[in-house]
Chain A
Amino acid sequence: MSPRMRPTLPAAMAVAAAGRLAEEAAAMAGAVRGALGPRGGRALVLRPDGRPLLTRDGRRLLEALCLQPPTARAMAAAACRYRGATGDGAKTFVLLLAALLRGLRAAGGAGRALPDFQRTVLEPAAALGLRRHLLSAFPAGEAERRVDLAALEALLDAYLHGRAGPGERPRLARLCCEFLARCAACSPPALRLLGRHFGALHAAVPGLPLHGSTVLPGVLLRRDFAAYSPSSGAVGAVLVTEPLHAALSAAGVELVVGSEGQYEAARRWCEARTEAVVKRLRSSNVKLLLSSVKQHDAVVYYAKLHGVSLVECLSSEEVDLIRELTGVSPYSPSGDHGCGEITDTAVATFCRPLLLGSNRYVHIGFASSTCAFQPHCLVLCGPVDGVNEQHAAAIQGAFTMLQQLFKTVDGREEWGSKGESQNDASDACSRHSSATQKQFTIENAYCNRNQVSEHLLKTHRGETETQIVDSTLKGSENPAGMQTALQTPSNPASHSEELSVPCKGAGSSRDAQETQAKCQCSGEMHKGYESDLPVDNLKNYSTAVLTTDNTNTVTVCENLDVGKDLEKASCGRIPFKPEEGCVSTAQKYSSSVIEAGSVLPVGGYFEILLHYYIQYYAKQLQQSAVTVISSVVADALLIIPKSLYGTTEGNSFAKFYLNTTNALRKNQPLPVNEKGLESVYCKYQLVISVLHCVTELLNIDLIIGVKRPLQKIEDNDSDDDF
């Protein structure tokens, strides 16, 4: 649906709808709150068949609730969708959603400004404010992207804090860490493989304490050997997906028996052929047959006779895993002509039966040929199946979560193009220019009628022509949004000022670049650590804002001209430091809001930081709607630390909040007690998803009940045929 066609609600109706939504969301939040955070408990879900399921997974909880109101179902679906994509955060999603809807109701339904808020406040807050505090989970100085082991442990520990019981978490985190380390799965492809095949890579034993859990090398197949001949050393293994024993007749085939002898000969031939196949496998040094189908008794017999081990009835998941690990394709006796050696064999370093609890497993060691991934399997022990299921789900979720670590939040397209064009001119500028690009595009739409900005545009046109076209297009697409965003003429001025200073410096003065280049070379530059950055940048920023606050549009032009001097002046005031800040961030900053591998300490720090910076950047704006939304979102974010710290004795949230915000104001490092880390990408995506969900919900004006199952559009074509 194009933005133009979006139905708009009368204000009163919108408030009423927001009220109902807020109530529903609050009820859902009440249901999941108990399971949130390190002090949360677990829920016992009784499935329709009576089996108990223990879980702290928000998605499971929401699914188990079987919600009735359609909008509540939509909210739960959105939360589950988010959880499915990132492996974490369904509970946080619901809590934030509830808080946001409550705030919006109190604010009187200002939800329409949400997209603008996201563009003008949230993204700068994340890109400029938040990123200074981010740590990286990737080891420094390595080109290859993989998670640092210490960071991995911290991430897993924090993740499992919310997913396993307090007594089980440390052991489980260690296990999971050991598992990942031994599988050598710290990179996205291996993590994906683990996540996809975790079902076949773990086994659960009920009735033993968690302490008995362990990591075993190789793969566990949930079958017993149909035939087992012990062998030492590596053996050849062959994958089979069809019966090896030829039947006398098959479906649609008729066998005509003319005489008893003929029948006898046919039977004899079938048996002889099976024996020949097994013999041939054996002579190709194949001692292990892995079959996805049940084999005839004769095959089992001949396998036993010739010392070949046989495993039958493998699940398709297990077959896929074996194929992926070893790269072999299934062997078919009818496919070859019974001569030559069978070459497409995998190497099993060992194969033996293993008794886990009351179940027999086949334990096979595969030497992985296709990738660096070293197959290992996890044996989970717990008193009841429900706990094992909970732990397995938590660990699988952790793999999804870890994959998110490698993702980045990209800026919008024009950010990227702008960033590139600016990068050509000067790396140092990209930070400022990209960050304010959003404002810049808005401004462009407006500035067509503004003479001074026209002038400003001219100065840029040479460099950023394409991008202006983009932004003009965007402006014409969404005029309503533009108009709400642009209410005071002083706004663009302040932004253009902020933008123009570095651009001017970059575009026109080679000197400035040279000084920067010198700075880069000087050893002193590397002194600039992240903790120093905020001071300088903020000062830089605030001076710029201060100047424009008191100036009219004409002084902007002057400022443009003296941009070089301004910069030089600032250089003079605090030698090297602004450049240091700019350069060091620019090195990391490649047109993305959040870098891959960004992490923050767990325990509400992300929310507090975002809260702080949303407020900070909202102050720069004077658009009432966006400001209102900003304060609503900023306050809603606090629900997470509130819920996390509210369960401790004496409710330490107030203390935590004061400590953190004080440190932020004074530009001190954050007071962090937590060792755990969480992925900033997930957290940021969560906020974005919640905002999308709210926007969507607030734009629904009519709910229509239908009796037929709704079909996806793609499915309609095939269904019509019937």
Chain B
Amino acid sequence: MSRLEAKKPSLFISDPLTKDTVSQSLSLLNRILKSCYGPAGRLKQLHNGVGGYVCITSQSSAILGRLSVSHPVLKVLTTSVQNHVARFSDCGLFTAILCCSLIENFKSLHVPSCTVIKISKDLLSLCTDYLKSEACGCRVSVDFSNLKTLLCLVRSILTSKPACMLNATEVEHLTMLIVKAFMFTIPCHVETKAVLGKCVTIPVKGRRVLDSTVLPGLLIETPEIQFAKLLSVKRISSDTIKIAVFCVSMSGDLFNPEEGMITVHHGVSLEMSELNQLLNVGKQLVNDEVGLVVCQKVIHPSLKQYLKENQVMVVDRAGLSVMEPLSQMTGSKPIASTHSFSPSCYGSLKDVCTKSFGSKHFVHLIPNDTVVCSLVLCNRNETTWDELKRACETAEHVLQLTIKEPVALLGGGCTESHLASYIRYKTCSLSTSSFKDADYSQTQYQLIADAFCCSLESVACSLSHDDKILTDTVYGHHWLVPSGFPSVSNWSDLLSKCGCGINSNTQNLNWRLLRPHFGSPTLQSCPKEPSVKTADVLTLDCFAAKYSGLQVAVETANLILDLKCIIEDQN
């Protein structure tokens, strides 16, 4: 009979946000994240003190994934940001910094949390409605017939990851590759529902970034010995090779995962029977004029030998990850039987050749319809390669999100400061009558709107770590003054372009210093939409990621402000 162990009572902490530990760790986290933000962000080296792997990064996904956050309130925040990154890949730091700033700013107001939450929800819907509207002054539509905006989008992502250690030429090279790879994955013949193909990243470490390349089709790594033995392949015609894909083991082992017993009489060899069956399969393949056999698992050496003798190329141990793109690319159905299979399972390839990058050898399967491509990604060392891979994945994901919703937001802090100007203008122009039915006062509303705008501006300000930051009063954009210049009244001498690069210093735009503090002057009119929307080099952000990140940041901040107590189970 088991004894009952008394459970320890839980630890009850009321009003956790008023505790110093929370404020301190929150502001520390905010400082860490702010210093990483943007192209001029500082890198963070993460290691565990015992040795081993070192990560040098400035990306939220890498930092938050490795940082052990002890306080439960902060854990909610970081989990929320990580979830956002898992969905959108981009704008993780934006979400995290905005969320931290919102919590800090709202907390300092001493307004009841339910009022804060209601008003900030209102302000959020003001923002989202504006961003979704056609009249929005900080979004540009993406034209897929012109590569320029796509290149801008990818370039902005690569330049905002300084830990990749790329110079301008390398950025341009990779930008081209990523856009090219993305173009490969768009199917040529769209039926009812378009499904994007896949871009498989092949890691090659210790090579120059400029050696990176994109190839249509799949690269399957093979051992060197096998590589040397690859012979000419049987072809149906000059540009068609028949391919059979197996997803069962062809090793000839007796597979008997089921329960129960099999008794074998003396002199009967089941292994022989299995091998005979495999050779029968081989015969059928040869008869069907299959040129290439790919097996997810192991192929028996005898069968391999037999197939090679008959000019059938064999690739085994391909692994599960290859199977889906392979069947997508060739139109073949993975065969799960060594007894009977119909010729309808075969697929076709345009060509097969061999490639080697560095010390690695690959079989290159070239399809007729290129929905699958391989990005051979090179970088100097493992740490920078990891960072670059994260950046490339982000860029690929952003392009996929953009094709669904072909708009982008102005980057370089311009969206944030523009949005803040818009909110300030909107909330100022509210009449007192609109507060009649609400259970909060106009003063409270103004206070919270101000804190909301300050949080947005503080995200924009964290893009620069030394420079002075200005905003103009016409477009509400974000301008940087290089450090080292004194504060002068005539800013136009020092400025050339705004953060996103859409506005140049052609007219006097009434600049003022942007400091995220309360009570900034409001605009006399609604911030305008830039007159020209076509500059050659624009900094652009992913619309979907930023749109969702903004909402997630506000919702998470509200969630944390709403916390009345923490109950910690001590068992």
Contacts and interface: CB of A to CB of B under 8 A. Distances in A.
Interface string B42-71: 000000000000000000000000000000
B interface, how many residues as a size bin? 35 or more
B112 interface: yes
Nearest to B248: A297
A476 interface: no
Interface in B275-315: 276-277
Contacts of A207: 80, 82-88, 552
B2 interface: yes
A259 B264 CA distance: 8
Contact of A250 (B6, B76, B260): B260
Given A41-B564, A167-B121, A52 B75 contact: yes
A106 interface: no
A529 interface: no
Given A38-B114, A165-B117, A167-B120, A46 B555 contact: no
Contacts of B270: 257, 260, 263
A358 B86 CA distance: 8
Interface string A294-305: 000110110011
B273 A42 contact: no
A212 B548 CA distance: 9
Contacts of A305: 333, 342, 344-345
Nearest to A249: B260
Contacts of B82: 207
A46 B4 CA distance: 23
Contacts of A370: none
Contact of A35 (B79, B247, B333, B564): B564
Nearest to B571: A48
Contacts of A268: 339-340
B340 A271 contact: yes
Contact of A64 (B10, B72, B260, B337): B10
A275 B83 CA distance: 43
A268 B551 CA distance: 58
Contacts of A233: none
Interface in B248-267: 248, 256, 258-265
B569 interface: yes
A263 B558 contact: no
Interface stretch (A340-348, A380-388, A589-597): A380-388
Contacts of B211: none
Given A207-B84, A211-B551, A263-B270, A387 B559 contact: yes
Interface residues of A, number: 74
A264 B260 CA distance: 18
Contacts of B86: 206-207, 357-358
Tell me which of B3, B270, B565 has the highest count of chain A C-beta atoms within 10 A of its own C-beta: B565
Given A65-B9, A256-B263, A248 B564 contact: no
Given A42-B562, A65-B9, A66-B10, A248 B114 contact: no
A158 to B, nearest CB: 16
A170 B562 CA distance: 16
Contacts of A383: 80, 83-84, 552, 555-556, 559
A665 interface: no
Nearest to A47: B569
B331 interface: no
Contact of A41 (B113, B269, B569): B113
Nearest to B111: A649
A212 B128 CA distance: 13
A46 B10 CA distance: 9
Contacts of A61: 567
B372 to A, nearest CB: 18
B219 to A, nearest CB: 26
A145 interface: no
Nearest to A246: B258
Interface of B: 1-4, 6-10, 12, 14, 16, 72-73, 75-76, 79-80, 82-88, 112-114, 117-118, 120-121, 128, 247-248, 256, 258-265, 268-270, 272-273, 276-277, 333-337, 339-340, 342, 344-345, 548, 551-552, 555-556, 558-559, 562-571
